Amino acid sequence: MSSYLIASVPIHGHVTPLLPIAAHLVGRGDTVRFLTGSRFAGVVAATGATHVALPAEADFDDRSLDLDGRAGLSPVAAIAYDMEHIFVRPAESQYHAVRELLAAGPVDAVVVDPTFAGGALLVELPAHRRPPVLVAGVLPLGLPGRDVAPFGLGLPPLAGPLGRIRNRVLEAITTRIFRRPEAVGTEIIRRVHGHDGSGPVLTWSARADAVLQLSVPSFEYPRPDAATRIEFTGMVTTSSALEHPRPAWWSDLDGSRPVVHVTQGTIANDDLAELILPTVHGLADSDVLVVVATGGRPVADLGPLPANARAAEFLPYEELFAQTDVFVTNGGYGGVQFALAHGVPLVVAPGKEDKVEVAARVVWSGTGVNLRRQRPSAARVRRGVRRVLSAPRFRTAAARIATEMAAAPGAAGFASLIDDVVEDHPHRVVDRATRVQHEVA
């Protein structure tokens, strides 16, 4: 039996993909502690893991963040704002919380989400003084590479001399944009460790012992020059029809017309006019059935619906995606992976955060179209949906990724990769000695 620590920032889209991993580890007899926000105590406990709340200064409710400071910022500048205020500044308290848990007893490995900046402090310790640190890729792979543009620009890879010139120029520009969060992170490392870090704080995942990406290679840009080990496990999130029963109108999904599903998720849904309403109204006269999930918002907030639209707060996604022809989304990584696992092509209207990168990968992988607007017009959504419905290549590409997802190892493979990294890590020898001392005592 092994002991693991999973740590995540308290954001729904970061915590949720880690829950099946925790459940699998517990199910095979391992001890798992899960360090994250207090509001996730219930869902963590349901996996069998022990929930540990983040310190107050690192805990927050992602449903009510004060993000007024990023109003009007460009997508890249908004990412820089988020990196500083949401992710980098809590790093020190995150790190101390991890160290306390490590001191409480042997830990075989620490698994973190890529934005858990306490990981940047942990990997600064010599390898023999810490367990292996593995990054669970719940966001688009953000490791630097000579053929990829800096993260946040939403640009596809460009190889060769021209691409490398492009990427160096863009790197210089984004370095200026991200100067402040980088400086804040550097100061935290100096305060904790007494020296500069071994590399940029914002790309600290490159110094982790491994990155286990919750996707498949066909959806992520190749990085042959990566500084750390990269493995793909496929999607590990699950959806249960028992959690969200069929609505009364479910029989309307009778296969007589294409089904277009649209949602803004459970967090970015305070303004349904961003994407849901343009989709509903843009397709009102089309021979499709528009199916809306409001993500917890009352259906009445949508107002009167056209005759070809149906709505519910939540839906049984496994069943729904088996019947969906196009998924219209704001680009959440988990939702996109779920759609592709079911072979469903996409229309993406990317919001901020990492969503521009998700949309770029959708285009690069051939699985859908990018509307390049957070608030697209009804006409723009209609054109995007019609394009995906009329061109078989999008569904063919999505089906190819679905096949790759089906062959991916999932949570069991994730656990096996943890074991593999642990076995070869320098901390293993020290940890074995510590366990013997505990047993003797």
114 and 218: one domain?
Answer: yes
Q: What is the C-alpha separation between 208 and 38, in angstroms, rounded?
A: 26
Same domain, 205 and 134: yes
The answer to whether the CB of 366 falls within 8 A of the CB of 397 is yes
d(CA 13, CA 266): 9
pLDDT of residue 430: 56
- Other Cβ atoms less than 10 A from the Cβ of 438: the count is 9
Domain contains 121: yes
Query: DSSP 3-state assignment of 135?
Result: strand
Nearest to 294 by CA among 283, 309, 282, 284: 309
pLDDT of residue 296: 84
CA distance 35 to 101: 9
Whether 366 and 222 map to the same domain: the answer is no
Residues 158 and 307 in one domain: no
Residues 6+ apart with CB under 8 A from 338: 235, 237, 239, 317, 321
Q: Both 66 and 172 in a single domain?
A: yes
Cα–Cα distance measured from residue 130 to residue 99, given in angstroms and rounded to the nearest whole number:
9
**Would you call 242 exposed, middle or buried from its count of C-beta atoms within 10 A (0-12, 13-18, 19+)?**
exposed
Residue 241, in any domain of the structure = no
- Give how many domains the chain has, as a whole number: 2
Within 10 angstroms of residue 56's Cβ, the number of other Cβ atoms is: 9
Residues 259 and 151 in one domain: no
Report pLDDT for 267: 72
- Token pair of 332 as six digits: 């959440």
50/130 same-domain check: yes
Does any domain span residue 229?
yes
Same domain, 303 and 210: no
Q: What is the CATH number of the domain that holds 172?
A: 3.40.50.2000
- Give the burial string for 377-387 (b: 16+ CB within 10 Å, else e): eeebbbbbbbe
**Residue 144 is assigned to a structural domain of this protein:** yes
For residues 45 and 69, membership in a common domain is answered with yes
The strands making up 289-293's β-sheet, listed across from edge to edge, are 309-312, 289-293, 259-263, 326-329, 346-348, 368-370
CA end-to-end span of the chain: 19
Q: Is residue 240 part of a domain?
A: no
Q: Verify that 269 and 377 share a domain, yes or no.
A: yes
Cβ 345 vs Cβ 367: under 8 Å:
yes
User: Are residues 386 and 367 in contact, defined by beta-carbon separation less than 8 angstroms?
Assistant: no
**Do both 74 and 38 map to the same domain?**
yes
Answer yes or no: do 224 and 294 share one domain. Answer: no
Q: What is the DSSP string of 83-107?
A: IIIIIITTHHHHHHHHHHHHHTS--
Residue 346 lies in a domain: yes
Q: Is residue 243 part of a domain?
A: no
What are 175-179's contacts with CB under 8 Å, separation 24+?
177/76, 177/77, 177/80, 178/80, 178/83, 178/202
Which residue segment(s) compose the domain that 341 sits in? 250-405
CA dihedral for 419, 10, 237, 153, sign (positive or negative): negative
Average pLDDT for runs of 10 along the chain of length 441: 96 93 96 97 97 96 73 76 90 97 95 96 95 97 92 92 94 91 95 94 95 97 92 78 79 96 82 94 97 92 96 93 96 94 97 88 98 95 98 98 96 96 83 52 50
pLDDT of residue 233: 96
Amino acid code (one letter) for 118 = G
> Does residue 239 sit within a domain?
no
The distance of Cα 126 from the centroid of its chain, to the nearest Å, equals 28
